[in-house]
Amino acid sequence: MTPITILTGFLGSGKTTLLNQILKQNPEIRFGLIINEFGEIGIDGQIIEDSGEEMVEISNGCVCCVVRKDLQDTVKKLLDSKKVQYIIVEASGLAEPAPVAQTFSMDDFEGAVNLDSVICLVDALNYGLVEKDYRIALEQLAFADIIVLNKVNEASPEQLEKLRELIQKINPEATLLENQNDLNTKLLIDTGAWSIDKLTAADSTSDSDSKVDLDHDHDDHDSKHTHHHDHEHEQVDEVVFTSTKTLDPNKLDMWLQTKFPKNVIRAKGFLNLQTPTGENLYLFQMVGAGKTLKPFIPTRKDFDYQTSRIVLIGKDLDKNQILGDLAETLV
C-alpha cells in the first residue's frame, strides 16, 4: 500500500518550506506531491525544488470540497504511474482537514493506499493574529495527529507558552514537534499515527474546540466562533494581479508601505522588477506583519518567466482598488 500524509496549516504557516525539507532529507523515497491552492493560480508548486518527484497542482478551490473529486482523480493517476512510493497532499491553508481525511477513509483505492497521518504546521509567530478571526486555524490544530510548531526561533517565549497551552487544551493526544530550522522530517514519514476514530471525535468536539481563545482576553471571541460554518473559505476574498510588464521597485515599495490593504492575511507571488542590472525575478511573501522580497531562481522546468503574478487573500478586499494600485507600480 502507498502511504498518504495530509499536510495542513493555515495560510503562510510554512507548508511548502517544510515540504522542501522532507524531499531533501528523504531522497531515497519517490514522493508523489499534490499541491492544493485556494486561488486560481498556483504559486507554491513553483517553489517546490525540482528533485524529479511526481507533482500535480490543484488550484481554484480547496480539496475539502470544491475540488475533492480532483483529489481522488489525481491520487489514482499517481498510483497508475507506478512511479511513487509515498504521497503527500499539501492542502490549502483554508482547507478543513476532516473531509480530506474522510476522502481516503471512504476510498482506499481498492486497498492501494492508507492514510498515514494528518500533520498541522503552526506559525508560532503569527498564530495569535489569525486564530481570532479564522476558525479554520483552530480546526486544523484540533484534527491533527502531529503538530509542528514552526518559526519557533522568531516567536517570543510568551507566544510559545500560549500555543503549548492551547494545544494541550484542544488536542492533547497529538505528537508535538518544534521546528528550530533543524527538524528531522523522518519523524513525519511512516508514522502510522492516523486512526479513523479521529473522524468521529472531530464531530463531537468541533463546537467546544472552536471556542478556545488563545489570548484569553477578547470578550467577543466566543461569539465569533460559536456558529459552525461548513466552509469558511467561502467568506474569504482573493485578488490576483498579473502582468507581462516589469514593475518599478520604487513604486512597488511605496505601495507596500502606504497602500497595502490592511485586511490581507496572506500574499505571495513572483515579480519581475526593473533594476539597474536589468530585469530580475523576485519572490514576494507576506505573512502577518512581515513582508519579504527576495531574488528567486526557479528550478521547475515549466516556470513562466514572462508573467509577474501576485495573489492576495483576506476578508472584505476591495478588488478594483487593489488592482488599480498595483497597475500604478508598473514601469
Q: How far is CA 238 from CA 40, 234, 302, 314, in A?
A: 9, 10, 24, 7
Q: Do domains 2-225 and 236-327 have the same CATH topology?
A: no
Q: What is the pLDDT of residues 289-299, one digit of tens each?
A: 889 999 999 98
Return the domain boundaries, the chain. Answer: 2-225, 236-327
pLDDT at 209: 42
Q: Is the pLDDT of residue 28 over 70?
A: yes
Which residues are 270's β-sheet partners?
283, 309
Is the CATH number of domain 236-327 3.30.1220.10? yes
Estimate to the nearest angstrom the gap between the alpha carbon of 296 and the chain centroid. Answer: 20
pTM of the prediction? 0.86
Q: How far is CA 271 from CA 40, 45, 294, 320, in A?
A: 17, 16, 10, 20
| Homologous superfamily of domain range 2-225 | P-loop containing nucleotide triphosphate hydrolases (3.40.50.300)
Q: What is the pLDDT of residues 39-73, one digit of tens each?
A: 677 788 888 877 777 888 887 667 766 667 888 88
